[in-house]
Amino acid sequence: MSRYMVNKLMWQIDREDEALAAFRDDPAGFVATWEAMSLTAGPPYPDGGELTDEERDAFCRRDYPLLYSLGAHPYLLWHMVRAVESDPGTNVEALSDAFKAGIQAYGVPDFTT
C-alpha cells in the first residue's frame, strides 16, 4: 500500500475546492490526472510513488470502507468523505453513522505511513 499517496490525495480533495469539484464530477478522471501530476516533483504533489490498482479503484468507486481497510488515515478519510458526500441539507450525523457502520468490520487497521 502506498499510504502516503492515499493520504496526500485525500488531503488535496478535502482542502482544495477545485480538486473537490473535479473529484465529485469524475473520480476516475481526477485520480488519473492527479497521478500523472504526481510524477513531477513540486508541491502539492509528492514526487515518486503511485497508487496501487486496489487504491485507485477504491477512490474511483468512492469505496471509503475499502480505503479505510487499506490503511487510509481515518482523520483524513472522514474529512474527505464529509467534503465529497455533503451538500447543503445533508444530515451529517446520518452520514457519520453510515461511515462508521461501513468501516466497523475492519476494526483498527494499521494506518502508519
Condensed to tens digits (0 to 9), the pLDDT of residues 39-72 reads 766 665 555 578 999 999 999 999 999 999 999 9
Mark out the alpha helices in 1-113 (DSSP H runs).
Answer: 3-15, 17-25, 27-38, 53-60, 64-69, 74-85, 92-103
Cα gap 73→103, rounded to integer Å: 12
pLDDT at 113 over 80: no
